[in-house]
Amino acid sequence: MGSRLIDLGLQPGIPPESWNITHPENIKQIHLEYFSAGSDIVLTNTFGGSRLKLEAHGHGDKVKEYNTKAVEIAKEICPHDGYIAGDIGPSGKFLPPVGSITEQELIDNFTEQTKILAEAEVDLFFIETMVDIKEAEIAINAAKKTADIPVFASMTYNKTKRGYFTIMGNSIEQCSEVLKEAGVDAIGANCTISSEEMIDLIPLIVNSTDLPVIAKPNAGQPQLVEGKTIYLSKPIEFTQDIQQMIKNGAAIVGGCCGSNPKFIIEISNQIKGEKQ
């Protein structure tokens, strides 16, 4: 969603969620493009829609308005066999010793957003791009207490010489254990790394859990060209990597930063072709 909005003119410093009010037709068109491309689930334009995240842009008083409108837009064009996931990203704040946010402040932050999304009747929650397993756990607990709907949770890992870890140093095994204990319905990884790098990550997650595994990589590593961030991966190459991830055990697949409906069309065509 973020990549597509930047393509359409979203300026730095403007929260993407504000476009739910100022550019609703653009948001609707993006959702429609993804469903038309073959997506089973689309995520609401609420990744940074929590109060703590919006306050950083001076939009803290718009939490209910932005989140409610986001679900409304997605539901308008959702096909009868499609699903709307309430997208929940990190707060942008850190617990001690890195930051000064308290656990209670995070609880309040995610409880508010999940309640609004649940009242707007999303089909599931998708908590993603989490780098701190404690923050992820808090967000999941808030979601589980708010509504009796599925909860997906996805961490973002970096590839290091010692293996894959979040930037907070959380291991795959640690994340999988905490996420399962919190009661999620599916776990996985998204963002940060390319589809090629995620091929090796997926079997490690699969071996650490008995839950369905999510794979949502970036379309390559971001490159800065003439002041603009671009992603160099091509849909066919990306899809080949996704197919390998499925062979490695991924049950839910998609695209993160830099991907677009062309990527989903290619993935959908290949997967549906293999199932026929």
Q: What is the pLDDT along the chain (276 residues), one digit of tens a residue?
A: 988 999 899 999 999 999 999 999 999 999 999 999 999 999 999 999 999 999 999 999 999 999 999 999 999 999 999 999 999 999 999 999 999 999 999 999 999 999 999 999 999 999 999 999 999 999 999 999 999 999 999 999 999 999 999 999 999 999 999 999 999 999 999 999 999 999 999 999 999 999 999 999 999 887 777 777 778 899 999 999 999 999 999 999 999 999 999 999 999 999 877 654
**Alpha carbon of residue 34 to chain centroid:** 15
Structure tokens at 55: 């306050």
Q: What is the pLDDT of residue 274?
A: 62
Q: What is the pLDDT of residue 221?
A: 82
Which residue segments constitute the domains of the chain, with CATH numbers given? 2-275 (3.20.20.330)
3-class state of residue 88 by DSSP: strand
**Contact call for residues 57 and 95 (beta carbons, < 8 A):** no
Cα→Cα distances 25→4, 28, 69, 242, Å:
13, 5, 12, 31
Length of the chain: 276
Query: pTM score, two decimals?
Result: 0.95
Q: What is the pLDDT of residue 225?
A: 77
Q: What is the pLDDT of residue 203?
A: 98
Nearest-angstrom CA–CA distance, 82 and 78: 6
Q: What is the pLDDT of residue 193?
A: 94
